[in-house]
Structure 1
């Protein structure tokens, strides 16, 4: 076995504890509970918790002897976001977008062949938000750092504007069985490149797809692949196209509107999105899309990027 790929059990135990506490950010746990929930012995667990407390990665309440996430993780998180080009200026751009349309704005990128949520900013006043403006509801179901397999049918928004990237993505083994309508996909590509953004409709399958796939590996169990195949079977079936819209006051259930952000090589670096989750008219979709494009251009400029 290649020693460079050999896992480290002690490190895995530290990660297990941090992941457990991160999954319960508003709770504190005693030693016995942490040991039980992470399937570790109490002596091993105590040693790890003590070291993490000493390094400020965790906090220990001296009265009830419980542990929770510590302040040093905040700095680490900010550093990680900076390394992925999510700086305060980018977050402010998302905040402006969120305020303008009273909904959640998100920034995502493909990292290590997985679609990863880099930042999420929700409207204030809808729920108790944190310092970045993310609502509790948003943080509960969709979390910064959450990732999804980057393979058809998930990830179209990252490849629509680049022929080479699109071909490489389509060549990947799909996460679920697909029946791709090539004629419709070509129409999707043409219309989205012409408009500069992608609009995804909200379908029963689409609502469940990301929840089922969040955090999973690219290799899904056969039973889950079959279930997902029943939920969504065509890459372009969830895309809303103006050319197919009835127009006027006709409303369509919209899930998300997305636009690309480019780096200085003219390559797509990230995607900025508006979470919709309700029915909109074509005019309402267009208004939000125009605001989204302004934000995407601003983010591209902050990266020193240029559209291809």
Structure 2
């Protein structure tokens, strides 16, 4: 893999940070603090971004915000990735039908990026608004890794510095996700310690210590992905979300649609029904965008384990 050019890395860090904080502008001093840049390098990078219209400087407050040139980039992106519009449309349908928050997320390099929200806003939010990024540290981003090659899965697990037991568990759960077509993050994925570590990383996204802290918290937190192996349909659990993939024309997971779970325990059979309904919408979005759903090994007909076909 080619080594990233420092100037390019600075430019992408600035644009990503401003995208994730669209409600205000930032001075160069604030950007330097949040992104760990040298002020001279930041000044030179911002000058280039301003010249191109990707960033605009307020001459009175001396703050920087995203520029109008990026709007054109966004429109072009939607044309090149019709799955995004199709997924947002399905999120609107699901939000109206289920009366709950539906989110659209995408894989963005080593991160998961929040693209859109439809339906009622959940009381407890982990992700604030479009543009928020979270590193794909296991188990975060499981729905994007379930159909990935083994090398990518191994990197995902190793980056999170999990115990051998958790690594093996999450590998098994990835197989379950492929079988049933959706993942079920548990409430522990939004534990206070996890939320605090993610918030710290969003404020200082280039701080290696912040990502390391998140990895430590994830390794010490209880299991965060639901395995249906030992459950019956009448068992009750608290789920954070139910997430299903939207595939691109190459059969890769491009996006995820997710239903925000209620703040109380629900029966496993209700989780399964939500998952089936979600997969229907994700399949519609995939087909509308001419995506390809990869083949998968289906469980034998008549299986009675929770989460399997009956």
Give the TM-score taking structure 2 as reference length. 0.67
1:166-245 aligned at under 5 Å gives the runs 166=150, 168-170=152-154, 173-180=158-165, 184=169, 188-189=173-174, 191-203=176-188, 208-209=193-194, 212-213=197-198, 225-232=215-222, 237-245=223-231
- Aligned-residue Cα RMSD (Å) equals 4.4
CA distance in 2, matches of 1:191, 1:13: 39
CA distance in 2, matches of 1:227, 1:155: 16
Give the TM-score taking structure 1 as reference length. 0.67
The verdict on how the C-alpha distance between 1:299 and 1:60 changes in structure 2, with shifts beyond 3 A counting, is: same
Report the alpha carbon displacement of residue 20 of structure 1 after superposing the two structures with TM.
6.2
Counterpart among 107, 112, 117 of residue 110 in structure 1: 107
Counterpart among 133, 138, 144 of residue 131 in structure 2: 144
CA distance in 2, matches of 1:41, 1:52: 16
User: Is the 8 Å Cα contact of residues 139 and 224 (structure 2) preserved in structure 1?
Assistant: no
Report the alpha carbon displacement of residue 296 of structure 1 after superposing the two structures with TM.
1.1
Specify the alignment match of 1:99 in structure 2: 96
Structure 2 residue ranges without an equivalent (≥5):
33-37, 296-310
Counterpart among 269, 274, 277 of residue 259 in structure 2: 274
Structure 1 residue ranges without an equivalent (≥5):
128-134
Q: Work out which of the two has the higher radius of gyration on C-alpha atoms and give 1 or 2.
A: 1
Report the alpha carbon displacement of residue 253 of structure 1 after superposing the two structures with TM.
1.0
Q: How many pairs does the alignment contain?
A: 280
Per mean C-alpha deviation after superposition, the further-off stretch among 17-26 and 277-286 is 17-26
Between structures 1 and 2, the one with greater strand share: 1
Instruction: For residue 239 of structure 2, give the secondary structure of its aligned residue in structure 1.
Output: strand
Q: Which has the higher contact order (CA 8 A, sep 6+)?
A: 2
Instruction: For residue 119 of structure 2, give the secondary structure of its aligned residue in structure 1.
Output: coil
Instruction: For residue 260 of structure 2, give the secondary structure of its aligned residue in structure 1.
Output: strand
Specify the alignment match of 1:285 in structure 2: 271
User: Is the 8 Å Cα contact of residues 193 and 217 (structure 2) preserved in structure 1?
Assistant: no
Report the alpha carbon displacement of residue 257 of structure 1 after superposing the two structures with TM.
0.9
Specify the alignment match of 1:7 in structure 2: 6
